[in-house]
Structure 1
Amino acid sequence: MSFTVIDGWFTQARFCLSPHFNLRPLNEVSLLVVHNISLPAGRFGLPYIDQLFQGCLDITADPSFKDLDGLEVSAHFLIRRDGELVQYVSCDDRAWHAGVSVFDGRTGCNDFALGVELEGTDDINYTDEQYARLAELTSTLIAHYPALTPDRIVGHCDIAPGRKTDPGNSFDWQRFKGLL
């Protein structure tokens, strides 16, 4: 798939707009952060991720959602198990995905990072479709944002060690980087 980017939006993605974003303090994209998410944990293909990022998650739908009450979080992208690409926030804006974070001595990674969520968990292998879509997306991002380079692609665990573990041991970094 060849991606077209207009004003930070990937025209081939399914748009699911999130209210949880704001303007970047500088118009800089120089880091890509790979995350994972599943709601409830370990269950896939459900509508809850979209609802969480849109701020309309029914916290009574599952007991594990209680801790998510009032949470304002988003990512730029989600790649579902079947490879579907969902976009919540323009790449030109700051999504709220990294939290307290530091990369290369610089804090506040949301200011300069793009966040890609993979539908998954730390310990369940990701799908071939997810690796292929992530590589396509990343290649387009690198072409579109010159400060973003392969050595500036990290896991959430790398920018928030001790606090975050995703994308987890199940993510094959060598396989992913080999596809770029």
Structure 2
Amino acid sequence: MKQAVAVAVAAIDADGWWPAAARYDSPFIDARPDPDDISLLVIHNIGLPGGRFGGPQVSDLFTGRLDYNVDPSLADLRGVRVSSHFFIRRDGRVVQYAAAGARAWHAGVSQFRGRAKCNDFSIGIELEGNDHTPFEAAQYAALGDLTAALLARYPVTDVQGHEHVAPGRKTDPGAFFDWQKYSESCESLVPANPGLRVVKGLP
């Protein structure tokens, strides 16, 4: 049996921002129907352009500044208004686009435990990646720290992939995301939340 280890993690501030993340405000957000109703984390992957890594295009997409002429694969994103609360780069750096208490536009048409419109009650976390590439150790470490900070601030009970709340429409974070590794990081970093359901809690 693994022993839980207490780890100091930067706290989410009173306005819903994480000091450990770089801040880039997105215009693609609005108010939640109930600001106290935040019970779900949704994990995604994204790589632009064309599933590639390292460029500015993800942040440009989420902040409405994307140059669609940079690569032909970006043409389909013209006019798309989308955002996420957080984006974790391959080296573990974290960017935040929306206060956690705001509604970011990340899940689209979605449903979880009989509730539609997951954006209303969820926090979106994008990992720089695609469905065909393993994620980096630095990303799991950053995701664990971020999860711990969010659980300490909000009444989160479940973590699911985009593929689980939008089955048949979305496939991320995909087969290369190691849910077991992520679950273990949650258990060690957040021992005060033993009831957290990570994917295996699907009905």
Q: How many angstroms apart in 1 are the aligned matches of 2:16 and 2:43? A: 18
Q: Which residue of 1 aligns with 2:23?
A: 15
Contact 2:83 2:104 in 1 (8 A): yes
Shift of 1:123: 1.4
Larger radius of gyration: 2
Matched, 1:156 2:149: no
Q: Which runs of 5+ in 1 are unaligned?
A: none
Q: How many angstroms apart in 2 are the aligned matches of 1:109 and 1:178? A: 25
- Equivalent of 2:82, from 70, 73, 94? 73
Normalised by the length of structure 2, the TM-score is 0.86
Normalised by the length of structure 1, the TM-score is 0.96
Matched, 1:24 2:29: no
Contact 1:41 1:121 in 2 (8 A): no
- Equivalent of 2:105, from 78, 87, 96? 96
| Mapping of residues 11-160 of structure 1, within 5 Å | 11-27=19-35, 28-146=37-155, 148-149=156-157, 152-160=158-166
Shift of 1:2: 2.1
Shift of 1:56: 1.0
Aligned residues with identical type, % of pairs: 52
Q: How many angstroms apart in 2 are the aligned matches of 1:125 and 1:13? A: 23
Q: How many angstroms apart in 2 are the aligned matches of 1:49 and 1:25? A: 27
Shift of 1:43: 1.3
The number of residues matched between the two structures is: 177
Q: How many angstroms apart in 2 are the aligned matches of 1:121 and 1:59? A: 20
| Structure 2 residue matching 1:5: 3-state secondary structure | coil
Q: How many angstroms apart in 2 are the aligned matches of 1:171 and 1:55? A: 28
The one-letter amino acid of 1:5's match is: I
